[in-house]
A = this chain, B = another copy of it.
């Protein structure tokens, strides 16, 4: 039976939050950990919509924090699926900030989260729909998702030697 394919727009998820005093560090900017928490939530909702299953966070790629977000600012998080593997899915999340008057609008950071789809009771991995990339940007992220996955398996030493060798060679090219 052919595997079901879904468009990326079907599971796109947007989240908006005001930075409240308890979200900040003692110099009154959003704490990195709170931002990661929101990035995980919006990504999980997006992953759930695509997979049509409960999902569990498997890993997060490097996250950098460049621009401070002061208390009272508004952040908007946008999550899209990049590619689905057999039972796992990669989500790309971007963060934007602005003040409450809608000014000083800026892009803050982004990250890649990976989730596995599970059933409710036994929490075993579940097969999920494929991703159908349509725009040039969606295609670019779809292709790169495979490279990120291979690098991740390489670093976790979960690949057979000859496959690992091939990936290493490619990585050196791309660095």
Contacts and interface: CB of A to CB of B under 8 A. Distances in A.
A13 B16 contact: yes
Contact of A33 (B22, B40, B58, B154): B40
Interface string A51-69: 1111111111111110010
Nearest to A175: B168
Nearest to A169: B172
A71 interface: yes
A152 interface: yes
Q: Tell me what chain A mostly uses at the interface: helix, strand, loop, or mixed.
A: mixed
B36 A103 contact: no
A91 to B, nearest CB: 12
Interface of A: 11, 13-18, 20-22, 25-27, 29, 31-34, 36-42, 44-45, 48-65, 68, 71-72, 74, 98, 100-103, 113, 118, 120, 123, 152, 154-156, 168, 171-172, 175
The list of the 5 closest CB pairs from A to B, nearest first, reads A33-B40, A32-B57, A26-B72, A49-B102, A33-B37
10 contacts: A14-B15, A16-B45, A27-B118, A33-B44, A52-B103, A55-B100, A57-B65, A60-B60, A60-B63, A68-B123
